[in-house]
């Protein structure tokens, strides 16, 4: 375990604005590396490598490792630890990074900053054609939302938007004690695999996103009220959906059908 004093870990002050809680327990570092199981010839992209605990295991196993780090101080430490031939370091914000620029069949891994986890997942979903899979650590409650079923409290916009693109599986829980400094919440590791041919046929991604966002904007409203001005009344009949239902009861396939019918009835 690394040397810790307050928010200082191995001489680095963990920055709250970057959501820095470093995974320090070797047991969980190894479990994540084993879950990824990178092989020679594969490209692994690590988001937020931090102090490099997981990075070291990835470098030892994968053919190519690219790390995206927004903290310049940590980037300097990583440069001192890993030579350029072992680690390609990108200093910048993963939210603005073009993952397609690295090629295709990418394996993305990381302890995602909890304060930007949802936007980052949406950013990755928009580039899913370049990904083989994601193995990411998030707040446990976020993973619960990602894996939720309709008509449950956790089911919402995040669930629908991600599961329209990925198959999502929770792998294991990581306790606060595994981090330095420890967060106030439990974490969980999840695997997301692009659906490819099995993905629902979404004709207009922007319209789909608008319909989903509006349906969950006020969860207690019926679809007729929540989607007023977003979906034409005729679209409900075309999609075979009762407008008196609430958005939280619709399956992902039903959201796809409703958004598609909305486009057809508006044409």
**pLDDT tens digits, 74-89:** 999 999 999 999 999 9
What pLDDT sits at residue 16?
54
pTM: 0.90
What pLDDT sits at residue 241?
98
CATH of the structural domain 4-197, one choice from 3.20.20.30, 3.10.20.30, 3.40.50.150, 3.40.50.300: 3.40.50.150
- Sorted by where each begins, the domain ranges of the chain are 4-197, 205-266
Cβ(12)–Cβ(77) below 8 Å: yes
- Token readout for 227 is 């989607």
- The DSSP letter of residue 145 is H
Distance CA 173, CA 62 (A): 25
Phi, psi of 13 (to 5 degrees): -85, 115
- Token readout for 145 is 């939302």
Q: How many CB atoms lie within 10 A of CB 237?
A: 13
What pLDDT sits at residue 181?
84
What pLDDT sits at residue 56?
96
**Residue 73, SS3 per DSSP:** helix
String of DSSP letters for 79-140: HHHS-TTT-EEEES-GGG--GGGG-SSEEEEEE--GGGHHHHHHHHHTTGGGEEEEEEEEEH
What pLDDT sits at residue 267?
43
What pLDDT sits at residue 30?
97
| CATH class as words, domain 205-266 | mainly alpha
Low-confidence spans in the chain with pLDDT less than 50: 4-7, 15, 17-18, 267
Closest C-alpha to 237, from 226, 249, 223: 223
What pLDDT sits at residue 201?
86
**Residue 257, SS3 per DSSP:** helix
Distance CA 94, CA 67 (A): 10
């Amino acid at each position: 375990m690394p040397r810790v004093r307050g928010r200082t870990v191995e001489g680095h002050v963990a920055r709250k604005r970057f959501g820095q809680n470093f995974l320090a327990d070797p047991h969980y570092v190894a479990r994540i590396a084993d879950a990824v199981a990178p092989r020679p010839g594969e490209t692994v992209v690590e988001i937020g490598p931090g102090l490099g605990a997981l990075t070291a295991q990835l470098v030892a196993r994968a053919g190519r490792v690219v790390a995206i780090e927004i903290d310049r101080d940590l980037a300097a430490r990583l440069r001192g630890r890993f030579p350029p031939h072992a680690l390609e370091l990108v200093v910048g914000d993963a939210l603005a990074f073009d993952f397609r620029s690295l090629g295709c069949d990418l394996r993305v891994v990381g302890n995602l900053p909890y304060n930007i986890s949802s936007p980052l997942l949406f950013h990755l979903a928009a580039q899913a054609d370049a990904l083989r899979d994601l193995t990411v650590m998030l707040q446990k409650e976020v993973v619960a939302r990602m894996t939720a079923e309709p008509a449950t409290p956790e089911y919402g916009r995040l669930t629908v938007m991600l599961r329209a693109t990925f198959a999502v599986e929770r792998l294991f829980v990581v306790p606060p004690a595994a981090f330095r400094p420890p967060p106030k919440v439990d974490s969980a590791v999840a695997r997301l695999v692009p659906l490819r041919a099995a993905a629902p046929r979404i004709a207009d991604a922007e319209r789909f996103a608008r319909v989903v966002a509006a349906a969950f904007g006020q969860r207690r409203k019926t679809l007729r009220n929540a989607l007023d001005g977003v979906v034409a009344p005729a679209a409900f009949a075309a999609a075979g959906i009762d407008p008196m239902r609430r958005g939280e009861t619709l399956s992902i396939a039903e959201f796809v059908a409703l958004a598609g019918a909305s486009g057809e009835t508006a044409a």
